[in-house]
Amino acid sequence: MSEMLRYPQAEPEFTVALSLSLVLIGFDGKGLQVLLARSSKPPYEGALFLPSRYLGAGDELSTSARQMFVELFGYDNAAGIEQLQAFGKVFRHPGGRVVNIAHYATVRTEDFRAEAWEKHGMMWVPYTAVPELAFDHNEIVKYAQERFKRRVKRRPVGFSLLPDPFTLGQLQVLYETALGTAFDKRNFRKKLRKTDILVPLSAKADGRQPGQHTGALLFRFNTEKYEKLRLEGYDFLF
């Protein structure tokens, strides 16, 4: 028989650190990307990892995530940052017991303050080809991608990702990458138009923007209807 717990317990020694990582999913006009940083410290010197920070005893989770986002992009995104879960395997960090509270957000890659963070070796990598990362950050990325996939099926997601204006081709690439499948072009567009969130413009793409082919029709979102669907949800099924 195993030994039963005895109460009251002795006061433990606190040897656990907290950290916070952000999985930033961006769209560069041609496809989805994930933002990574390059470590400058051993034992993972030179390896890539998610933008992260250690948390102090008085640091509030959502506030810390927002502060990180502001530092990286220059604007706040309070409504767009979502907590994922805690990653706390005992040996996930070689320096000791570190529990990571991961978050994720969607952005336009062009908003990243690249010059301010160049010294940290930050870079965008393809969403479907994230390399081997330090710590357990591949597990965190995979978890974020699964969460994002569920969101795409139930909520519109393009507002924070697509350029303004965008083409239906760009929107289809976004959905195909997020869901890991290919759609029939005509069927995809027919179902999207039924949502009434797309506003066709009189202008056409001139080919100067990444991912926009010359002559393609341009669209914006109907903000009111987009927000309603974001709150109420829908079934995006094919």
CB 38 within 8 A of CB 48: yes
Phi, psi of 2, rounded to the nearest 5 degrees: -75, 155
Per-residue pLDDT tens digits for 109-160: 999 999 989 888 899 999 999 999 999 999 999 999 999 999 998 888 999 9
Model confidence band, residue 92 (pLDDT cutoffs 50, 70, 90): confident
Same domain, 118 and 206: no
The burial class, CB within 10 Å (0-12 / 13-18 / 19+), for 171 is buried
Model confidence band, residue 13 (pLDDT cutoffs 50, 70, 90): low
- Of 4-8, 177-181, 209-213, the least confident: 4-8
Whether 183 shows a pLDDT value over 90: the answer reads yes
How many of the other CB atoms lie within 10 Å of CB of 107? Answer: 21
Per-residue pLDDT tens digits for 21-76: 999 999 999 999 999 999 988 889 999 999 999 999 899 999 999 999 999 999 99
Same domain, 24 and 113: yes
Q: How many angstroms separate the Cα of 207 from the Cα of each of 64, 77, 168, 202, 213?
A: 39, 30, 14, 16, 5
**27 assigned to some structural domain:** yes
Same domain, 142 and 173: no
Q: What percent of the chain has pLDDT over 90?
A: 72
Nearest to 120 by CA among 47, 38, 51: 38
pLDDT at 126: 98
**Between 230 and 237, where is the model more confident?**
230
**80 assigned to some structural domain:** yes
**2 assigned to some structural domain:** no
Same domain, 142 and 228: no
Helices (H), 74-181: 137-154, 168-179
Model confidence band, residue 173 (pLDDT cutoffs 50, 70, 90): very high
Per the prediction, the chain carries an average pLDDT of: 90
Range of the domain at 165: 156-232
DSSP line for 161-227 = TS-SSB-HHHHHHHHHHHHTS---HHHHHHHHHHTT-EEEEEEE--S-STT--TT-EEEEE-HHHHH
Same domain, 46 and 141: yes
**132 assigned to some structural domain:** yes
The residues near 13 (Cβ < 8 Å, ≥ 6 apart) are none
The residues near 146 (Cβ < 8 Å, ≥ 6 apart) are none
Quote the tokens at residue 68.
């990180």
pLDDT at 238: 55
Domain final position from 106, 130, 153: 153
pTM of the model: 0.90
CB 161 within 8 A of CB 175: no
Residue that is written with structure tokens 């506030």 in the block: 63
Same domain, 164 and 93: no
CATH of the domain at 213: 1.10.10.10
Domain final position from 133, 153, 173: 153
Cis peptide before 8 (omega within 30 of 0): yes
Q: What value does the mean pLDDT take over residues 195-212? A: 93
**10 assigned to some structural domain:** no
**213 assigned to some structural domain:** yes
